[in-house]
Amino acid sequence: MKALIFEKFGGPEVLQYKEISTPSYGTNEILVKMKAIGLNFADIYRRRGNYHLSGNPPYILGYEGSGVVEEIGSNVTEIKVGDRISFADVPFSNAEYVVVPKDKVIPLPNEISFETAASVLLQGLTAHYLTKDSYQVNTGDTVLIHAAAGGVGQLLVQIVKFLGGKVIGLTSSLQKAEIAKNVRADYVFLYEEDWVTKILEMTDRRGVDVVYESVGSTLSSSFQATKIAGTVVFYGMAGGDPEPVDPRMLMDTSKTITGGDLWNVLTTHEERVKRSNELFHWITKGHIQVSEPAIFQLRDGKLAHELLESRKSTGKILLIP
């Protein structure tokens, strides 16, 4: 089979499109012929050597994708050859064929395309648990969303609106502000502005009910924009490490900080399927829209990595075998 591999850490130039052996599968696994593969920043970090990789080169990136079941292990009974499936956390997906443990299989409804599934699963399931578990958004909540034009940010905006909240988005440019407004953010401010003051003014000095904080370096400002007894959900550090949080400040203001990590939620097959089905339902009913992805052939993986690394993309980037 063909795969996108690399043998040493570095920039996009280390990626190679090569013929390698088709992987073998076990009794509790299936072999999937890939149709669409999601590209994520974690792939860049692994390619650079920032994230640990086990085993020896050649390495294969990728954790998210969708495809058709080609073969099944002897202990697999609930899945059959020809089924449409997707997954969010299976390694080595930058290839024509991928081995998927049966417990990580997410059945793909006919109404959801391979491209949509590969575009939305990781980011969509993240937005799902952030709004359902980390902080349960209720009708009337005022919600501040960092990086509102990003992949998770756009989905958060739409889910919060669907759940009855009011959204204030933060972006780094006017172009990205328009993207956030197009997915129904009520207000959008730029990071270069004094956004804390503006938010306090528009909320009569109260602040917002919850902040979805994915930048890291803005954590202290997020607390300033949060109301007494409000919540900051910390789930990313795209802009650098946060300053330490003083527990006395939390005590004096009754504010809460909570962390978020998808892999603490997707702990069973049942959780994967239940949450994915709700996400797919929201998509088919039109409650959330998935922006058109940028599509590259798997052989052109270098170009896809360059685009993602440039931070000029606003939607998902897919690789097609």
Domain ranges of the chain: 2-120+266-320, 139-259
Position of tokens 């590969």?
Answer: 118
Report which DSSP code applies to 238: T
- Written as tens digits, the pLDDT of the chain (321 aa) is 999 999 999 999 999 999 999 999 999 999 999 999 999 988 998 999 888 777 889 999 999 999 999 999 999 999 999 999 999 999 999 999 999 999 999 999 999 999 999 999 999 999 999 999 999 999 999 999 999 998 899 999 999 999 999 999 999 999 999 999 999 999 999 999 999 999 999 999 999 999 999 999 999 999 999 999 999 999 988 888 899 999 999 999 999 999 988 989 999 999 999 999 999 999 999 999 998 899 999 999 999 999 998 877 777 999 999
The letter for the amino acid at 111 is E
Same fold, 2-120+266-320 and 139-259: no
Give phi and psi for 53, each to the nearest 5. Answer: -125, 130
Do 176 and 183 touch, CB atoms closer than 8 A?
no
Among 93, 108, 116, CA closest to 31: 93
Give phi and psi for 93, each to the nearest 5. Answer: -80, -5
Do 296 and 303 touch, CB atoms closer than 8 A?
yes
Give phi and psi for 298, each to the nearest 5. Answer: -55, -35
CATH class assigned to 139-259: alpha beta
Please tell me the CATH code under which domain 2-120+266-320 is placed.
Answer: 3.90.180.10
Residue 138, by phi and psi: left (phi above 0), alpha (psi -120 to 50) or beta? beta
